[in-house]
Amino acid sequence: MLYTPRYEALRLQLQAVRIKAQLTQTDLAQKMRKTQSYISKVENGERYVDVMEFIDWCEICQEPPNRILQKILKSPKS
């Protein structure tokens, strides 16, 4: 698991925006041209998400990336 508090906040935010967009992991994976297991590993903290993948995730879920980043910046660093 990738356990820094900020990364934890990121993965929880990514999962929340996916759910808010009413997308399953499979739906999001197809739109991102990834596998469902990739989405699952990101959401479970087993895999880091690349910055471009982060932007794609946000755009697909219709969530401004800066909104998520603002929430993460408020999280403790360690």
- The pLDDT tens digits of the residues spanning 1-19 come to 567 888 899 999 999 999 9
Contact 72, 6 (CB under 8 A): yes
The whole-model pTM stands at: 0.90
**Tokens standing for residue 21:** 């967009």
Query: Quick check: 78 pLDDT over 70?
Result: no
Number of helical H runs and strand E runs in the chain: 5, 0
- The pLDDT tens digits of the residues spanning 54-74 come to 999 999 999 999 999 998 988
How many whole angstroms separate alpha carbon 28 and alpha carbon 25? 5
Contact 48, 38 (CB under 8 A): no
